[in-house]
Amino acid sequence: MRDLRRLLFYLKPHWGKFALATFAMLAVGLLQSATGALIVPIFDQALRQSGGSGQRTPTLFGLQNFIPDSGFAAWRTIAILLIVFTIAKGVAEYFSTYLMARVGQESVLKLRTDMYAHLHAQSADFFERHRTNYLVSRLVGSAAAIETAVSNTLRDMLREGFTLVCFLAASFYYSWRLTLGSLIIAPVIGLLTARFGGALRKIARESFEGSQELVDTAQEALANQTIVKAYVAEARERKRFTRVARQIMRANLRAAKINGIAPNTIELIGVFAVAALLFFAQREILSGRMNAALFITFLFFLFSSYDPMRKLSRLQNGMEQALAAARHVWEVMDERAEMPEKPDAVALEPLREAIELRDIFFGYGNEERLVLRGISLRIGAGRMVALVGESGGGKSTLTKLVPRFHDPVEGAVLWDGVDLRDARLHTLRQNIALVTQETVLFNDTVRYNIAYSRPGATDAEIEAAARAAHADEFIRELPRGYDTVVGERGIFLSGGQRQRLAIARAVLTDASVLVLDEATSSLDAESERLVQKALANLTRGRTTIVIAHRLSTVRRADLIVVIERGRIVESGKHSELLALGGAYRRLYELQFADEEEVETVSSEP
């Protein structure tokens, strides 16, 4: 019930349309009852035509009063009423279908946008705990199941429910004694429906979770096709996919069994009840409380009531699936991992003095060990600081603290003396340009990707940023220039071209601080030269924190910081640290010495 209440919360802004749709569905039930009520005057007229008694039998809504006594006029009136009721029912069904679809679409739009905003508000910890497929499946797949439930399943349940109530009310009108007798089976039907519903709820959850796992399995294998093919793993991946798909198939077949058994079981119980009622109906007719017309109409409504019962039983499966989907959505929505911002947080200006890390300790939520331990570092405005060290030492983690993707466990990060926890988050990130080791591009145009850091930038500003990143020349050679789509993750571009687009994006934002994680992938000599020139343009005049993988970058740095096992072990300039013969010297001999030899050879005449 809690899941249903939360789902209905999203319908609250649309109560007006929902009420109109509900009224239209009630009208459908009443008009179906009115159509059935015409059986009585039809039966009366048939008896008159065959020489029977000319009585006028009362029927629902007093319809007998609108029908002439006999002859062509009576049949004409009945035909007109039948056509009018059918047209009116069609109009009511149209409005109920359209209005409920509108309510469903608008409610799920709000749900999706709320969930999307909620996801973007979460900290980096949240995204490190959850797979992207997990989140996307809930944003798209789960929301689609909820949309179907509101637009179709809920509409059909309400319509069939109103129809059932109207038919039972009509049965009461024609014979309350026989109707009460037929309702003896109601507790049995209620118990069976609850049992079937519980089983369907469990299966729906299993099927839905299997579908999410299937998406994960497929996406993972298809996104890594190069590795799959390289290690001849196609058969293994097919087996893995088939195993999950088979689990879903088994769950769906169990649901199909219940869907096949439940309505027929309920219908059979109803037929047994009707068969028993026939003996009581005979007594009612003999006693004069019913005539043939009333009895036939009563049977029509009683038998007709089993159709909405059967449909409601089947619709319950769809609703259980929707509630299972809703539960997955609430799991994500209830998880709060936003980066907190104080109500009186201050707006940050471009860096004027320094970024300071004071006695920083940090560990990820899913790990017990500390990644950073006792880090203290001052980065003066306009200076370049190169972070070097072995992989896993904590360099990338340190750079994530500056844009406040994480907060330290102990210590503080200061921006011109202001603790980042006291600053407005968006003003901090507006002052930082980020270039990651793995170049991130969107499946859109070159123009869109460069302007992502400043959506309002003019074409001239975008092209100026591209020239500064030495990207303008190759962009103009693309099929549609700046309007060329780069493909998913920039698949249509080379590695050097992707890096220069990312640099152009950072140039365009014109932030006072640059956080740069140099790409480790090797490029051809010409691409490497252009990327290094682009980086030189990007870092000029900016406070730069760079995770350095190239000797040229290390040499340009005003300060080199050597990080090992989460601690700063050395800091200084290139020549000073080499002379010390410590950790930097060892790292230089392992990582940079070969590069220096290549540079020396290439510079010889």
Is 387 found in the same domain as 277? no
Which of 291, 318, 333 is where one domain is finished? Answer: 333
Rounded to an integer, what distance in angstroms lies between the CA atom of residue 475 and that of residue 440?
17
Q: Tell me, what's the pLDDT at 579?
A: 86
Q: In the chain, how many domains are there?
A: 2
Is 167 found in the same domain as 19? yes
pTM for the predicted model, two decimal places: 0.69
Q: Is 239 among the domain residues?
A: yes
Residue with tokens 């003019």: 458
DSSP class of 413: E
Is 88 found in the same domain as 169? yes
Is 388 found in the same domain as 302? no
Is 281 found in the same domain as 170? yes
Q: Tell me, what's the pLDDT at 89?
A: 92
Q: Is 158 among the domain residues?
A: yes
Rounded to an integer, what distance in angstroms lies between the CA atom of residue 443 and that of residue 440?
10
21: closest CA among 155, 115, 113, 139?
A: 155
Q: Tell me, what's the pLDDT at 275?
A: 77
Is 589 found in the same domain as 491? yes
Task: Give the structural domain span for 212.
Answer: 2-333
Would you state the structure tokens that stand for residue 346, as one six-digit string?
């201050």
CATH number at residue 16: 1.20.1560.10
CATH number at residue 467: 3.40.50.300
Q: Is 25 among the domain residues?
A: yes
Q: Is 403 among the domain residues?
A: no
Q: Is 109 among the domain residues?
A: yes
Rounded to an integer, what distance in angstroms lies between the CA atom of residue 518 and that of residue 57?
91
In single-letter form, the type of residue at position 440 comes to V
Is 449 found in the same domain as 313? no
Q: Is 365 among the domain residues?
A: no
CA distances from 485 to 237, 365, 460, 501, 531 (A): 31, 38, 19, 13, 21
Would you state the structure tokens that stand for residue 89, as one six-digit string?
């029912």
Is 288 found in the same domain as 160? yes
Is 445 found in the same domain as 315? no
Would you state the structure tokens that stand for residue 240, as one six-digit string?
């893995």
In single-letter form, the type of residue at position 186 comes to A
What spatial distance separates the first Cα and last Cα of the chain, rounded to whole Å?
Answer: 82
* Beta carbons of 21 and 105 less than 8 angstroms apart: no
Q: Is 352 among the domain residues?
A: no
Is 389 found in the same domain as 304? no
Q: Is 405 among the domain residues?
A: no
Is 325 found in the same domain as 451? no
CA distances from 362 to 375, 412, 424, 546 (A): 9, 11, 22, 20
User: Which segments in the chain show pLDDT lower than 70?
Assistant: 1-4, 49-55, 317, 337-338, 365-367, 518-528, 591-605
Spell out the residues 6+ positions from residue 442 whose beta carbon is closer than 8 angstroms to its own. 448, 449, 452, 486
Is 465 found in the same domain as 329? no
Rounded to an integer, what distance in angstroms lies between the CA atom of residue 130 and that of residue 333?
13
* Beta carbons of 240 and 271 less than 8 angstroms apart: no
* Beta carbons of 553 and 535 less than 8 angstroms apart: yes
Per-residue pLDDT tens digits for 265-295? 877 887 787 777 777 777 777 777 777 778 8
In single-letter form, the type of residue at position 412 comes to A
